[in-house]
Amino acid sequence: MIVVTGAAGFIGSNLVSKLNANGFVDIVIVDDFSNPNKNKNIETKQISARVDRNRFFDWLDKNHRWVQFLFHIGAKSATVGFPKSVYDELNLNYSKTVWNKCVEYGLPLVYASSAATYGAGELGYDDSHDLIPKLRPLNDYGHSKNDFDIWALQQAKKPYFWAGLKYFNVYGPNEYHKGRMASVIFHAFNQINETGKMKLFMSHKPDYIDGGQIRDFVYVKDLSEIMCFLMNNRKDSGIYNVGTGKGRTFLDLTRNTFLAMGKPENIEFIPIPEDIRDKYQYFTEANMSKLRQIGYDKEFYSLEDGIHDYVKNYLIKAKHI
Residues labelled catalytic: 141, 178
- Measure the CA–CA gap between 22 and 18, rounded to whole angstroms: 6
Question: What is the DSSP code (8-state) at residue 54?
Answer: G
Residue 230 makes CB contacts below 8 A (sequence gap 6+) with: 110, 163
Question: What is the DSSP code (8-state) at residue 79?
Answer: S
- Measure the CA–CA gap between 57 and 104, rounded to whole angstroms: 12
Q: Find out whether 278 and 242 touch, Cβ atoms under 8 Å.
A: no
- Measure the CA–CA gap between 235 and 256, rounded to whole angstroms: 38
- Measure the CA–CA gap between 235 and 129, rounded to whole angstroms: 17
- Measure the CA–CA gap between 263 and 193, rounded to whole angstroms: 9
Q: Find out whether 73 and 62 touch, Cβ atoms under 8 Å.
A: no
- Measure the CA–CA gap between 116 and 87, rounded to whole angstroms: 13
Cα 289 versus chain centre, distance: 19
3-state secondary structure of 277: helix
- Measure the CA–CA gap between 81 and 205, rounded to whole angstroms: 28
Q: Find out whether 14 and 39 touch, Cβ atoms under 8 Å.
A: no
